[in-house]
């Protein structure tokens, strides 16, 4: 079974959590999969709510990775972007983030996240979710092998 097949098998049995702007699943023990809701306009309070959910889902994990499917995002406010950049830099347990985009517009938003200065988290943009899944599993394995 490939890593992406394993991911989808685990996703089928994972519990869905919702915030105002997204749906999230804990896939296995070390991956958070986030899907933005249709027309999501993320404000500061939404960003805080999403990150609180992530922290709750991963409270028992030493290290984890995140896949964010960004296709449905309409807007992320400047306040939310600034807050995400600060929080992202403060969480050394989040090893890597795969951003899945489907349009030029969501690629622009994703590129903002790649611009976080001094981020401990490896981030990469993908056009295909399966490629993002494979990459994320590889990053988690690399981290495990180097003693993370």
In a domain, 72, yes or no: yes
Determine the pLDDT at residue 98.
Answer: 93
Determine the pLDDT at residue 4.
Answer: 92
In a domain, 99, yes or no: yes
CATH at residue 86: 3.30.750.24
Determine the pLDDT at residue 104.
Answer: 78
What's the Cα-to-Cα distance from 82 to each of 18, 78, 87, 99, 115, rounded to whole Å? 23, 6, 9, 18, 11
Q: In Å, how far from its chain's centre is CA 63? A: 13
Of 140, 106, 127, which is closest to residue 27 (Cα–Cα)? 140
In a domain, 147, yes or no: no
In a domain, 146, yes or no: no
Determine the pLDDT at residue 114.
Answer: 66
In a domain, 148, yes or no: no
In a domain, 25, yes or no: yes
Order of all β-strands in the sheet with 16-18:
16-18, 22-27, 31-36, 64-69, 94-100, 122-126
Reported pTM: 0.89
In a domain, 16, yes or no: yes
What's the domain range around 32?
Answer: 3-141
**Number of domains composing the chain:** 1
In a domain, 116, yes or no: yes
Q: Tens place of pLDDT for every residue, the chain, 148 residues?
A: 799 999 999 999 999 999 999 999 999 999 999 999 999 999 999 999 998 998 899 988 888 999 999 989 999 898 998 888 777 656 778 888 899 998 877 888 777 766 655 567 788 999 999 999 999 999 999 888 876 5
C-alpha–C-alpha distance, residues 75 and 110, integer Å:
11
């Amino acid at each position: 079974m490939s890593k992406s097949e394993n991911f989808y098998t685990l996703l089928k049995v994972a519990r869905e959590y919702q915030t105002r702007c997204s749906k999230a699943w804990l896939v296995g023990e070390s991956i958070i999969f986030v899907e933005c809701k249709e027309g999501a306009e993320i404000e500061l309070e939404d960003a805080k709510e999403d990150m609180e959910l992530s922290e709750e889902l991963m409270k028992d994990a030493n290290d984890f990775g995140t896949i964010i499917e960004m296709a449905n995002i309409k807007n992320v406010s400047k306040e939310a972007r600034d807050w995400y950049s600060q929080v992202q830099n403060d969480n050394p347990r989040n090893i890597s983030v795969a951003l899945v985009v489907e349009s030029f517009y969501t690629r622009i938003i994703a590129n903002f996240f790649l611009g976080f200065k001094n981020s401990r988290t490896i981030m990469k943009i993908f056009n295909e979710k399966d490629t993002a899944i494979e990459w994320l599993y590889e990053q988690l394995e690399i981290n495990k092998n180097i003693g993370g």
